[in-house]
Every structure is written in C-alpha cells, then in structure tokens.
Amino acid sequence: MDTVAIIGAGVSGLSMANYLEKNNIAYHIYERRQKDDLKGHGFILPKEGIENLSNIINIEELYSRGSFLKKYIHYAQNGEILSEKDLEDVFVISRSALIEILSQNIPADKISYTKTLALSGFSDGKANLQFEDNTTLEADIVIASDGSRSRIRRKIFQDEVMKAVLENEVVNIIENAEIANQIETNFLKFHHNDGGLTFGILKLSSTKILWYCQFDITKFFINEDYTPDCIRQFMVDHFGDWNPLVSSIINQSSYENAHIWRVYELEKLNPFYHENIAFIGDAAHPLIPFTSQGVTSALKDSYTLTQLILEEKDLQEAFRKYESERRPEIETHIKNGRILLNQFLLPLDQQPKDTLPISYK
Ligand SMILES: Cc1cc2nc3c(=O)[nH]c(=O)nc-3n(C[C@H](O)[C@H](O)[C@H](O)COP(=O)(O)OP(=O)(O)OC[C@H]3O[C@@H](n4cnc5c(N)ncnc54)[C@H](O)[C@@H]3O)c2cc1C
C-alpha cells in the first residue's frame, strides 16, 4: 500500500489520520506546533459533523467535553428579542478538546511535532518534501492539511489572491459557572442597532462560556498591539452600555487568552489537488466563520478522500472524484457565508427573522 504523508495536525489532518488508521493505510503526520500547544477557542458542529466524528472517536467522550445548543436567540443590543429558532443537534466544543480527542487514536510513532514543511518542488509527478530542519522525505501521497494560509498551496498556486474579509472577531473563553447556568443551552447573539457589530455567547460546560464579538473592520478599529489591555478597552468601548448580560461579561472577563481573529478568504478556489498532493480542510478552502462549517467540511473532506483512495486504483482518478464530490458543497458554503456576512452588516430594522448562524447546504 502507498505511504501517506499528512502535513498539519489540525482537525483535517488528524481526522484524515484517524480514517487511515482505521483502514490500515500507512501514514505519518508532520506538525509545526509543539504537542501541547493547543491554541484556539471553540467550534460549532452541526449534526453532520457529529455523525462524521462518531465514525472515528468515542462519541461519549466528545459529549462529555462540550454541550448541545437547543435554541438560537437573536437579540437587539438592549436585550429585546428579535427572533428565536430551535436548533437540531448543534454542538459546541473547545478547539483544544477536539484536537486532544482526535489525537488519542494516533500512535506516538506516527506523528512528529515541531516539524515544519517547506516544499521544495516536484520530480516524476511527486512532491519533494523538505522540512525547515533540512530533512527530506518521499511519500506516494501527500495530504496538505496545513490550514488556511497553507504554505504548500501558496507555493503551487502562486497566482492565488487571499483577501481580507470585512469582518474580524474577538474570541474568548472564560470560567463563569453563574453565567453558564443562566444561559442554559441557548446560543445568544446580540446585534448593534446600526449593524456590523454583534456579541455571541455559548455555554461550553457547566463552568465555562465562550463569547465572541464580530465587528465590521471599516467601522470599528482595534489597536493593533493586540495586548490583553487593548482588547479589553475595545470591548468596553463598544459593548459597555449594551444589555446587562453583555456588559457584565465584558467587565468580568480576563483578557489574557482573548484572541483577535483576522478573517481571510480566497478570491477564487484553487484545484483541490496537484500531482500527488491533495488539499483538505482550510488548506483547500478557507471558510469564513459565519458558516460554522469549517470543522464539518474538514471532517467530510478526510472521510471522502479516504474512501476514494481505498476504492480507486488510480490516484489521479481518486483525487478528481474527491474534488468533484466536495467542491459543490464548499461553493454553497462560500455563497451562504457571503449572505450571512451581508446580513450581519444590516441594521436591526432590516434583520431577517429566520436566519441561523450556520450555513446549510
Ligand atoms: C491556532 C488555531 C486556532 C484556531 N481557533 C479557532 C477557533 O477558535 N474557532 C474556529 O472556528 N476556528 C479556529 N481555527 C480554525 C479551525 O481550526 C479550522 O477552520 C478548521 O478546524 C479546519 O481545520 P484545518 O485542520 O483544515 O486547519 P487548521 O486548524 O488551521 O490546522 C492546520 C494545522 O497545520 C499546521 N501547519 C501549518 N503550516 C504547517 C507547515 N508548514 N508544516 C507543518 N504543519 C503546519 C498548523 O500548526 C495547524 O496545526 C483555528 C486554527 C488554528 C491554527
């Protein structure tokens, strides 16, 4: 059987490794970060994402590390309810918990940390993999799962244009059992009267909540030092006089781990493969946060690609089918993401009543 080199141990690379492990296909993962460096905040997983995960991990463990959201409530900044919608099997979990769970089935000798790929070129239809420590590697198949700023993708598709999205986010996770209890299993989102600014709250566990703010970068500016103090000041300036639940969260939060999320998208999608390299997850198709489909799409990519590698004798045919199966759904999420972005920019009196914070295909 061919050997597979997976570049990047985020959700897409780790889920691919889980599928390969299950199907006894030889592989090795190369990851830039250190093993315990589990940055990031939270993920929303619609039903399909959970179903997909149940094929490769102990689903009870997943359930014990996050929580289901039952209702989406959209509020005005003063707390008046604009609309409510029931959510069906939408789950929220921290990024670190999901990465940890996905790593559990990978034997230690099949993953190398602090190993950063610097692709050098191609010979005989195969990528020459070179790492920053100057070691080199040959593999029959290369899975590029190195995220939205994929170095491999940029080296191959040198004409691609990554453009900044109008919206950026501040994300934070805080310990607060009282607020976690108060918001129950609801997903709350507050919207500025004039649009272009929202505040979302989700319960991660009985003691932890995740909050995030989405802001229109043409209207709201944050000091680019990005220190905890700058982020706190930005939040107090813009949310200090909102509904008491929002303002109390802003005032009580520690900002040591708050993160500014700069959002980028590809002007045009590239092919999902090149020679013996297949792109999965954000490396193939960065999705904007409004879709809530980044993780589920990554999981579906790795499942589809593994099935096709197993079924097809010819690698190029497997890659071609992979792209034709996955691309239309990704294009739908990109289109829906733009619709959700435009709605976010609208003032309250123009907000639609039936929007969900998720893109469905
Ligand atoms: C640090 C971090 C925090 C994040 N936090 C959130 C969050 O809070 N909420 C959210 O919705 N999304 C978050 N995301 C994005 C989210 O993880 C992805 O949208 C989604 O899960 C798809 O995952 P992915 O595996 O395709 O990409 P990613 O999650 O970006 O994973 C890519 C992996 O590849 C590794 N890598 C990159 N370049 C190289 C290289 N040259 N050689 C070797 N390894 C390399 C990276 O270290 C990373 O582990 C985060 C991503 C990162 C990297």
Q: Which atom of ligand 1 lies at the shortest distance from residue 44's CA?
A: 11
Residue 22, number of CB atoms within 10 A of its CB: 12
The tens-digit pLDDT sequence of the chain (361 residues) is: 458 999 999 999 999 999 999 999 999 999 999 998 877 789 999 999 999 999 999 999 999 999 999 999 999 999 999 999 999 889 999 999 999 999 999 999 999 999 999 988 899 999 999 999 999 998 999 999 999 999 999 999 999 999 999 999 999 999 999 999 999 899 999 999 999 999 999 999 999 999 999 999 999 998 888 899 999 999 999 999 999 999 999 999 999 999 999 999 999 999 999 999 999 999 999 999 889 899 999 999 999 999 999 999 999 999 999 999 999 999 999 999 999 999 999 999 998 887 777 888 7
Residue with CA at minimum distance from ligand 1 atom 31? 10
Residue 271 Cβ < 6 Å to ligand 1:
no
The structure tokens 């996905």 sit at 102
> Tokens in use for 12?
């897409």
Residues in the chain: 361
Q: What structural domains does the chain harbor?
A: 4-40+95-161+268-345 (3.50.50.60)
Atom of ligand 1 lying closest to residue 9 CA: 49
The CA distance from 221 to 179, in Å, is: 28
CA angle at 148 for the pair 217 and 41, rounded to the nearest 5°: 70
Q: Which ligand 1 atom is the nearest neighbour of the CA of 150?
A: 38
CA distances to 12, 251, 278, 326, 340 from 283, in Å: 9, 37, 9, 14, 22
Strand extents, DSSP E, the chain:
4-7, 27-30, 42-45, 67-76, 81-94, 111-112, 121-123, 126-130, 136-137, 141-144, 162-164, 167-175, 186-191, 197-203, 208-216, 259-261, 264-266, 273-274, 277-279
DSSP state, residue 356: -
Side by side, which strands form the sheet with 126-130? 121-123, 126-130, 136-137
Task: Identify the burial level of 85 via C-beta atoms within 10 angstroms of its C-beta, where 0-12 means exposed, 13-18 middle and 19 or more buried.
Answer: middle
Residue 284 CA: nearest ligand 1 atom is 26
Closest CA to 226 of 191, 252, 178, 261: 261
147 lines ligand 1 (CB under 6 A): yes
pLDDT at 1: 43
| Cβ of residue 145 lying under 6 Å from some atom of ligand 1 | yes
Q: How far is the CA of 78 from the centre of ligand 1 (A)?
A: 35
Q: CB–CB of 216/347 below 8 Å?
A: no
Look up residue 89 and give its amino acid.
D
Neighbours of 24 (CB within 10 A): 7
Looking at ligand 1, which atom is closest to the CA of residue 39? 1
CB 17 within 8 A of CB 145: no
pLDDT at 105: 95
Q: Residue 152: in which H helix or E strand, if any? A: helix 151-156
For residue 91, CA distances in Å to 15, 49, 134, 209, 329 come to 18, 9, 42, 13, 21
Ligand 1 contact, 204 CB (< 6 A):
no
Q: Is the CB of 192 under 6 A from ligand 1?
A: no
Tell me the best of 39, 43, 167 to mutate to test the pocket of ligand 1, counting ligand atoms within 8 Å of each CB and taking the most. Answer: 43
> Which among 330, 282, 300 has a CA at the least distance from the CA of 19?
300
Distant-in-sequence, close-in-space partners of 237: CB < 8 Å, separation ≥ 6: none
* b/e code 181-197 from CB counts within 10 Å (16+ = b): eebeebbbbbbbeebbb
Q: Beta-strand (E) ranges in 257-296?
A: 259-261, 264-266, 273-274, 277-279
Give the chain's largest Cα–Cα span.
64
Residue 186: DSSP 8-state: E
